[in-house]
């Protein structure tokens, strides 16, 4: 088994429950961890034997920039659906983290993070 990770993908979005979030927007960061068998790719040195992280990046960017959600959980589930649809036959699981900054709530904190994981096999 092996893992491919893409860390700290950054996007400016207009997601959120509150009107201010949808008007002003905020930065989010996304980490994705793909679990899969990398044995064949290690031997062949061929991208056809793995999952292209460039394609995963494009898939996530498309979802984040063309859709809007009240909840980060909704965005995470949609990204997991997209990954499962296009790459689920090659993956055993995906772990996704989304961090949201500039959250309009009282208190001192860096960000809010949600984590969702989905197994495919």
Q: Is 100 an active-site residue?
A: yes
Distance of CA 50 to the CA centre of its chain: 18
Catalytic residue among 3, 14, 19, 100: 100
Nearest to 57 by CA among 10, 2, 117: 10
Q: Write down how long the chain is.
A: 121
Taking the C-alpha atoms of residue 22 and residue 24, their distance in angstroms, rounded to an integer, is 6
The 8-class DSSP code of residue 113 comes to: E
* Residues belonging to the active site: 100
């Amino acid at each position: 088994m092996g893992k491919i990770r893409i860390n700290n993908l950054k996007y400016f979005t207009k997601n959120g429950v509150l009107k201010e979030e949808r008007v002003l927007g905020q930065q989010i960061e996304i980490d994705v961890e793909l679990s899969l068998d990398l044995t064949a790719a290690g031997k062949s040195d061929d991208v056809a034997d793995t999952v292209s992280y460039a394609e995963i990046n494009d898939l996530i960017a498309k979802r984040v920039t063309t859709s809007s959600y009240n909840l980060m959980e909704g965005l995470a589930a949609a990204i997991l659906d997209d990954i499962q649809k296009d790459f689920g036959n090659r993956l055993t699981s995906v772990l996704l983290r989304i961090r949201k900054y500039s959250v309009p709530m009282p208190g001192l904190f860096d960000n809010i993070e949600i984590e969702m994981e989905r197994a495919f096999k």
